[in-house]
Copies of this chain bind each other. A is one copy, B any other.
Amino acid sequence: MPKPDADPTVQLELSVDRSSPVPLYFQLAQQLEAAIEHGTLTPGSLLGNEIELASRLGLSRPTVRQAIQSLVDKGLLVRRRGVGTQVVHSQVKRPLELSSLYDDLELAGQRPATKVLVNKMVPASAEVAAALGVPEDSEVHRIERLRLAHGEPMAYLCNFLPPGLLDLETAQLEATGLYRLMRAAGITLHSARQTIGARAATPAEAERLTEEAGAPLLTMQRVTYDDTGRAVEYGTHTYRPSRYSFEFQLLVRG
């Protein structure tokens, strides 16, 4: 029986531009990722050893390793000592990131719309103060929004933001998502702690989402942090489970 020589070492054309301001390791990582995405590097195929790869590209081994490591961190490659580096044979391509409901909907082709119900400054309650790490009763932004898709209510969003971070104009909030506004204001979102649960809708909640009282609702609370660890947003959301569910990817920390 002929052995189906699986996992062959792939020879592909790589090159780097030393005059570019883009770091060399990043150029290499991008090309490798593109090759994986494009299918040139098939799952299970070996990448060829680092030393040889480095000399072929005119790079040093640390630089090549840095490129490979970044893809390993992304979950695209696996290193095996004594074996080599190979492409993960995963069905899942891109791990989901910290997502914005607005972006998710837009990407899915559902024409999202936002109706701003409240947009004002209020004193922080104990709960909000604890979440945002600000003094109790200090002023914070309070935003209440109804998110619609195809004209149908999909979620009720209540958010709190620390003062001074951002100008929040109702018109902008109706035109795009909160995260996009924050990024545009130069805030680098880094991580978020979320709690997802479910409960029966109260009459008021049911009314807002055009559900019936007692209908199941999906609830989410989230505190978002920027790259310095500051809390930049606290939100309490309720979703209609028939219209929305959370989908994401968790990674195990090595």
For residues 203 through 219 of chain A, which have their beta carbon under 8 Å from a beta carbon of chain B?
A: 214-218
Closest to A244 in B: B197
Residue of B89, B91, B191, B229 near A89 (CB, 8 A) is: B229
Residue of B75, B91, B196, B241 near A199 (CB, 8 A) is: B241
- Give Cα A134–Cα B53 distance, bound, in whole angstroms: 34
A17 within 8 A of B: no
Bitwise, A62-102 to B at CB < 8 A (1) or not (0) is 10000000000111001000000000111110011111000
Task: List residues of chain B with CB within 8 A of the CB of A216.
Answer: 198-200, 216-217
Chain A: residues with Cβ within 8 Å of the partner, total of 52
Residue of B74, B95, B96, B191 near A75 (CB, 8 A) is: B191
Does the CB pair B249–A192 fall under 8 Å?
A: yes
Does the CB pair B195–A247 fall under 8 Å?
A: yes
Bitwise, A170-201 to B at CB < 8 A (1) or not (0) is 00000000000000000001111111111110
Does the CB pair A241–B198 fall under 8 Å?
A: yes
- Give Cα A223–Cα B92 distance, bound, in whole angstroms: 10
Does the CB pair A97–B193 fall under 8 Å?
A: no
A157 within 8 A of B: no
Q: State how many angstroms separate the Cβ of A69 from the closest Cβ of chain B.
A: 10
Of A195, A196, A199, A246, most B-chain CB atoms within 10 Å: A196
A5 within 8 A of B: no
Task: List residues of chain B with CB within 8 A of the CB of A73.
Answer: 73
Q: State how many angstroms separate the Cβ of A250 from the closest Cβ of chain B.
A: 5
Does the CB pair A194–B90 fall under 8 Å?
A: no
Starting from the known contacts A91-B133, A193-B249, A198-B198, 7 additional A-B residue pairs (CB-CB under 8 Å) come to A75-B229, A96-B193, A190-B252, A193-B248, A195-B245, A198-B241, A251-B251
Q: List 13 A-B contacts (CB under 8 A).
A: A89-B229, A92-B191, A98-B250, A99-B250, A190-B252, A191-B249, A191-B250, A194-B250, A195-B246, A197-B244, A198-B217, A200-B215, A216-B216
